[in-house]
Amino acid sequence: MTHVDHEEFARRWAEAVVGTSYVPIGRRVLARHLLGLTDRLVEAAVAVEFDPSVGRQVGVDMVAAHFTGTETLRETLALIADGLPGLLGSAPPGVDAAGRVAQLVASMAAGYAGALRERSLDEQDAIYRAGLRARRQAEQALAASEAKFRAMFTEAAIGIGMSDLEGNITEANPALLRMFGYTLEEFTRLNVVRSMIHPEDAASVWETYGELIRGERDHFRMEKRYYRADGGEIWTDLTVSLVREEDGAPAYQVALLEDISERRRLQDKLEYQAFHDPLTGLANRARVTERLGQIFAGPAGQRRVGVCFLDLDGFKVVNDSLGHDVGDQLLKTVASRLTRCCGAGQLLARMGGDEFVIVVEDTAGEADVAALAEKVLTAMAEPIRVGDHELNVTTSIGVVERPVVDTNPEDLLQAADITMYRAKADGKARYAMYDQNRNEREVARFTLSATMVAAVERGEFFLVYQPLASLADRSLRGVEALVRWRHPTLGVLGPDRFIDLAAESGAIVQLGRWVLARACEQVRAWREAFGDAAPFVSVNLAPRQLHESALVADVTKVLLDNGLDPSSLQLELTEQALMGDETGPLTVLTKLHGMGVRIALDDFGTGYWNLPDLRRLPLHELKLAGSFALGLQSSSTLVDQRIVAALVDMAHALELTVTAEGIETPTQLDRFRAVGCDTGQGALFGLPGGAERIDTSLRAASPLCDVSGEAL
C-alpha cells in the first residue's frame, strides 16, 4: 500500500466530512488531519497487538475537530468500512484484518457518540453557566444602581421623602428628618395632607397637590412653610413629583425639600428694613405711601380716610442742647406712647425727624380723627424722662378726614402737613382741623415761596423809595428803599406778602443782594445828576442776612462798583436780628460800622430792647416805630410825649440820631420836632414811590411839605 493511497483516502474522507459538517478549517488542513487519523487506523488494523480503543480515540478526535454534522458519522463509517481494508496491504500472519476494521468502526462509532454526548452536555453547561453569569451580572448592576440611589438618598443635603397616594409617608432621608426634627419612625407615622398643613398656606397649595394625586400633573414646585417637631417654623423650596405605574396610573409621590429658611429670613429682614424706621421700629414713609396706595386703589364707595400729621414742638432744641442720644431716646418713648394710642385699622409711622403720621382707615367723620388727636395730646402731656432729664415735649397735630373719592394720597398728606403748621402757628401743643380756605392760602404761600429765587432772576422785583426828611427844615436827607414784587398773576405784592417767606426759604439772600445792588445803582444815578444834594439810601436787612458772612464783601463790592462813599448807604436792621447769643451778627455789624456804613435800628419800640442795651451796639440811628407817631397824634397823651422825649434824649446821649416813622400829620411833625427828633418818615413827606418822584423833589430843592402839612 502506498502513501498515495492513504492520501487519496483522506481526501475522499475530507470531502465526505465537509459536505456534512461545518468545519472551521481549510480543506488541505482537514485532509492532513484526516490523513493522520487514517494512518492511525491502518496501523491499528495491521498491528501485531490489536488495540481496538484506537477506533474510539479517532471518534473522540473527530468530535473534538468539530466533525459533528448529523451525516458525518454515517458517511465516515461507510467510507472506512469500504475503503480501509483496501489500504491494509498484507496483514501479518494470523491477523484478521477485516475483523479488526469492523471492530475499529464499532469502537469509532462508540467513541464518536460518547464524545458527542459529552460535548453537548458541555455546551448546555456552558450555556447554563453563561446564563447564570449574565443573571448574576444583571443582579449586581441592579444592586449597584440601588446602592447608588440609596447612597444618594442617605447622603443628600436636600430632604427627600416619599408617600403613597393617600399621603402616608413611607420614606424619609436623614436630611429630611434633620430638617423636621423627627425620627424616621415618627415621621413615617405622619400624613402629608393631615400633618403638613401650615395655617398660612395659600389655598392653591392644596389645590395643586390634589391635581398631582389625581394624575392631572406630574410635578409642582413652590415655597412652603412647615412646622418642625419642636414647633419652630421652616421655609422650604418644595418639589413634588408623581411616579406612575407602567400603565400610567399614579403610583406614589416623591418630594424634594430644600431648607430656605435662612434666605427667607434675610428676605423678610430686608423687607422689614424697607418698610420700617430703624430707630423706633415703627412703619416708615414708604409703608405709609404703600398703605395709602392700597386704600386708594380699592373700591372707593362710601369709604373715608383720616390722617393725623404730628410734629414734636421744640424737638430741635432738645437735640441741639442735650445731644442726639437724648433726642433718640425721646423719639423712642414718643413712639411707644403713640403706639398705645393707636388701635386696629390705624397705621402709625415715623415720617422722618420728629414727624409722625397716623393713617386711620374707614372713619365715620372728622370727630373720629379729632378724638384720636385728643388722645395723642393727652398721652404726650406727661413729661418724658430721658436719663436725668425730664422733658416736656408737646406735639402739634394736623388733622384731615375726608371721603376717599375726594382726594389722593399726596394731597391728603400735604393737607395734613400744612394743617399741622397751622397748629404750630396757633400756639403749638394742639391739633388743628383741616380748613379748605386756609389750606388754599397756605398752598399759595408755599408756591410763592418756591418760585421766589427764579422771580429775582427774571427781574420781577422792583424798588420804591420813601423820603427821609429833616424835621428842622423838612428837606430831603435820605430815602428808604422798599421792595415790591410784580407777580405775573397776583399783581404787585408788598413785602408783608413775601419777606417772611423769603426768610424761611432762604431766598432772602438772593433777594437782599439784589435790593442792595439796585438801591446803590439808584444813588449813583442821583449823585451823577444832583451831586452832593443826592440822598443817602437806607436799605432793610433781614435778620438772616446778618448771618451771611458774605455780607461785608457784598457791601464793599457794591459801594466800589458804584463809586459810592460808605456814608451814602444806611442799613436798617430790626431788634430781632440782634437777639440771641451769637456773636456773628455783631461782628458783621461792627465791620460795616467801621467801614463808615450807617447802621439804623428799625422799628424801635416794637421789640424787647431797652435803651441802655443799645450802648453795646455799633449804631448811628434809631428809627422809632410808627406806634409812637400814633401815640403823639391825640393831644391828650402827654405821657406818650414824655416817653418819646426821654427816648430821644437818651438816644442823643448815645450819639444816635433819631428818625420817627409814620408821620402822617403836621401835629405829629410838630411834636416830634419839639422833643428834638432829627428826621421823619411818613405820608406827610411822601409815601414810597418811583425814583422819578425823588428826582422831582431833588430838582425842586424845596421842603417836602409846608408847615400846614400840605405836600409840596
Summarize as ranges the residues that interact with Mg ion (CB under 5 A): 540, 572, 602-603, 661
Closest CB to Mg ion among residues 572, 621: 572
Shortest distance, position 271 Cβ to ligand C2E, whole Å: 50
**Could you tell me which stretch among 59-67, 71-79, 86-94, 680-688 binds ligand C2E (CB under 6 A)?**
680-688
688 binds, among ligand C2E, Mg ion, none (CB under 5 to 8 A by kind): ligand C2E
Minimum Å gap between C-beta 502 and ligand C2E is 8
- Is 683 a binding residue for ligand C2E by CB under 6 A? The answer is yes
Choose from Mg ion, ligand C2E, none: what does 467 bind? Cβ within 5-8 Å by kind: none
How many whole angstroms from its chain centre is CA 115?
92
Q: Rounded to an integer, what distance in angstroms lies between the CA atom of residue 88 and that of residue 97? A: 8
Question: Strands 159-163 and 169-172: what pairing?
Answer: antiparallel
The minimum distance between CB 350 and Mg ion, in angstroms, equals 43
- In the list Mg ion, ligand C2E, none, the entry touching 682 (Cβ below 5 to 8 angstroms by class) is ligand C2E
The rounded distance, in Å, linking the Cα atoms of 473 and 484 is 30
35 or 617: CB nearest Mg ion: 617
Of 311, 313, 354, 602, the one binding ligand C2E by CB under 6 A: 602
Report, in Å, the least distance between residue 683 CB and ligand C2E. Answer: 4
Q: Which is nearer to ligand C2E, 341 or 541 (CB)?
A: 541
| 292 near ligand C2E, rule: CB under 6 A | no
Q: Count the site residues for ligand C2E by CB under 6 A.
A: 23
DSSP at 535: P
Minimum distance of Mg ion from residue 561's CB (angstroms) = 23
What does 200 bind: ligand C2E, Mg ion, none (CB cut-off 5 to 8 Å by kind)?
A: none
Residue type, 272: Y
453 part of the interface to ligand C2E, by CB under 6 A: no
Closer to ligand C2E by CB, 515 or 632: give it: 515
Task: Tell me the closest approach of the beta carbon of residue 672 to ligand C2E, in angstroms.
Answer: 13
Do residues 628 and 644 touch, judged by C-beta distance below 8 A?
yes
- Residue type present at position 463: L
Q: Does 659 bind ligand C2E (CB under 6 A)?
A: no
Residue 683 contact among ligand C2E, Mg ion, none, beta carbon within 5 to 8 Å by kind: ligand C2E
Nearer to ligand C2E, 366 or 664 (CB): 664
**320-339 CB burial, b ≥16 within 10 A, e <16:** eebeeebbebbbbbbbebbe
Q: Between residues 548 and 603, which has the closer beta carbon with respect to ligand C2E?
A: 603
Taking the least distance from each CB to ligand C2E, the nearer of 372 and 658 is 658
Closest separation in Å from C-beta 505 to Mg ion: 21
Q: How far is the CB of 557 from ligand C2E (least distance, A)?
A: 18
Please answer whether residues 236 and 192 qualify as being in contact, where contact means their C-beta atoms are separated by less than 8 angstroms.
Answer: no
C-alpha cell of residue 673: 420836632
Residue 49 interacting partner from ligand C2E, Mg ion, none (CB closer than 5 to 8 Å by kind): none
Strands (E), 151-273: 159-163, 169-172, 219-227, 233-244, 250-259
Is 540 an interacting residue with respect to ligand C2E (CB under 6 A)? yes
Instruction: Identify which of residues 327 and 686 has a Cβ nearer to ligand C2E in the complex.
Output: 686
CA distance 589 to 585: 6
| Dihedral sign (CA 128, 129, 130, 136) | positive
Q: How many residues does the structure list for the chain?
A: 712
Find out whether 614 and 655 touch, Cβ atoms under 8 Å. no
List all residues 6 or more positions away from 536 whose beta carbon is below 8 Å from its beta carbon. 477, 478, 479, 523, 567, 568, 569, 570, 598
Our finding on whether 666 is near ligand C2E (CB under 6 A) is no
Instruction: Output the DSSP codes for 419-454.
Output: HHHHHHHTTSSEEEE--HHHHHHHHHHHHHHHHHHH
State the cell numbers at 344.
Answer: 386696629
Task: Calculate the CA 410 to chain-centre distance.
Answer: 21
Choose from Mg ion, ligand C2E, none: what does 501 bind? Cβ within 5-8 Å by kind. none
User: Strand locations in 372-520, DSSP E?
Assistant: 384-386, 389-391, 395-403, 430-433, 461-470, 476-487, 491-493
Which residues, numbered 62-101, are part of the site for ligand C2E (CB under 6 A)?
none
Is residue 441 within 8 A of residue 497, CB to CB? The reply is no
SS3 helix, strand, coil % of the chain, rounded to 5?
55, 20, 25
Give bridge partners of residue 250 from the DSSP assignment. 244
Q: How far is the CB of 468 from ligand C2E (least distance, A)?
A: 10
The CB-of-564 to Mg ion minimum distance in angstroms stands at 20
Closest distance to ligand C2E from the beta carbon of 544 (Å): 9
Site string for ligand C2E, 475-514 (x = CB under 6 A): -------xx----------xxx--x---------------
Q: How far is the CB of 670 from ligand C2E (least distance, A)?
A: 16
Q: Letter for the amino acid at 386? A: V
d(CA 318, CA 322): 5
Q: Minimum CB separation from ligand C2E for residue 509, in Å?
A: 11
Cell of 554: 457784598
**Terminal-to-terminal C-alpha distance of the chain:** 183
Q: Interface residues for ligand C2E in 308-347 (CB under 6 A)?
A: none
Of 143-151, 290-298, 419-427, 658-666, the window that binds ligand C2E (rule: CB under 6 A) is: 658-666
Per CB under 6 A, does 626 bind ligand C2E? yes
Q: Does 467 bind ligand C2E (CB under 6 A)?
A: no
User: Which part of the chain contacts ligand C2E (CB under 6 A), choosing from 400-408, 412-420, 434-442, 535-543?
Assistant: 535-543
CA-CA-CA-CA torsion sign (189, 193, 194, 195)? positive
688 binds ligand C2E (CB under 6 A): yes
For residue 401, give the DSSP letter. E
456 burial via Cβ count (<10 Å: 0-12, 13-18, 19+): buried
Q: Which residues of the shown chain bind ligand C2E in the complex (CB under 6 A)? A: 466, 482-483, 494-496, 499, 515, 540-542, 572, 602-603, 626, 661-662, 664, 681-683, 687-688
